Amino acid sequence: MASIDVLIPTYNRAAALAVTLTSLCAQSFQDFRVIISDQTEEYSAVETGEVQAAIRVLQVHGQEVQTHRHLPRRGIAEQRQFLLDQATAPYVLYLDDDLILEPWLIGNLWRMMQEQDCGFVGSAMIGLSFRTDVRPQQQQIEFWQGAVQPEIVAANTPQWNRYQLHNAANVYHVQQQLQITPDQPRLYRVAWVAGCILYNHAKLRDVGGFEFWRELPLNHCGEDVLVQLRLLAQYGGCGMLPSGAYHQELPTTIPDRHIDAPHLLPILPLAGEIHA
């Protein structure tokens, strides 16, 4: 059994998925399996030539690759829960289908998780088209001093504003300014992390995973935010610099974003004792 199951939900993005898989081929950490859940309705994204080529390279490197055509679509939270239900590894890395990863990234996430034993460690996506757009007003950062601890983060609190650090290329500018290098990564406090998050599998299931999909309408967003808020409250979580996750900056496949899970459902970190 692999140490990490890399879980990739995909929809109508064959070319972007192939690029993402190609960056997995170059990872220095190799103890992972890849599980892809494709919800493309018009065709099979995983059967396209570019995706199959990347899968073959992963396979000759020794990685198992499992693919699923998972229809009908029932929303992104259900798609994430379906992937979680296929996983058997002690850690799961949810990876968006439109990223490019530095070769050291998964290994660093793994190492930080082993040190902290928290709910999640994430690498925020960097949009390099914004690399000359410096926003110092959005670049406040709170580094963890010592072990990552549980904390309550909720909307309309100062902690919620941490999300601004993950806009545009802010984390790129911060890691450059502070000269943070892959051989000496640093952990910081977050509200949530999108796109590339390593979870402790057992802790993720302990807070319910994404089973709340049944409580949401089909068109929703914020499912990963809600899960991370629950994990932050019970087990703690963090972001990691340098990030090493670059966004391909394609249009979102979830354009209707007015139904936001963390604003509809409660945070239940301790058997329902705390709601935020």
Q: What are the residue boundaries of the structural domains of the chain, listed by start?
A: 4-264
Taking only the tens place, the pLDDT of each residue in 160-192 is 999 999 999 999 999 999 999 999 999 999 999
User: What are the tens digits of pLDDT across the range 56-111?
Assistant: 999 999 999 999 999 999 999 999 999 999 999 999 999 999 999 999 999 999 99
Check pLDDT > 80 for residue 268. Answer: no
Average pLDDT (207-214) is: 96
The answer to whether residues 190 and 149 touch, using CB atoms and an 8 Å cutoff, is no
Q: What pLDDT, on a 0 to 100 scale, did the predictor assign at position 270?
A: 41
Residues in CB range of 252: below 8 A, 6 or more apart:
none
Q: Is residue 197 predicted with pLDDT exceeding 90?
A: yes
What is the average per-residue pLDDT within 5-12?
A: 98
23: confidence class by pLDDT, cuts 50, 70, 90: very high
Comparing CA positions, the residue from 269, 254, 257, 205 lying closest to residue 11 is: 254
Superfamily of domain 4-264: Spore Coat Polysaccharide Biosynthesis Protein SpsA; Chain A (3.90.550.10)
Work out the mean pLDDT of the chain and round it to a whole number: 94
Q: What phi, psi does 10 have (nearest 5°)? A: -140, 150
pLDDT above 70 covers a percentage of the chain that reads: 96
pLDDT tens-digit map of 133-161? 999 999 999 999 999 999 999 988 899 99
Position 272 scores a pLDDT of: 42
DSSP 3-state percent helix, strand, coil across the chain (nearest 5): 35, 20, 45
Through-space distance between the first and last CA atoms of the chain, rounded to whole angstroms: 37
Mean pLDDT (whole number) for 226-230: 97
Tokens representing 148?
């990552």
Q: What is the pLDDT of residue 276?
A: 36
What is the percentage of the chain residues whose pLDDT exceeds 90? 88
pLDDT at residue 259 in the model: 82
Predicted model pTM: 0.95
Which has more pLDDT, 142 or 1?
142
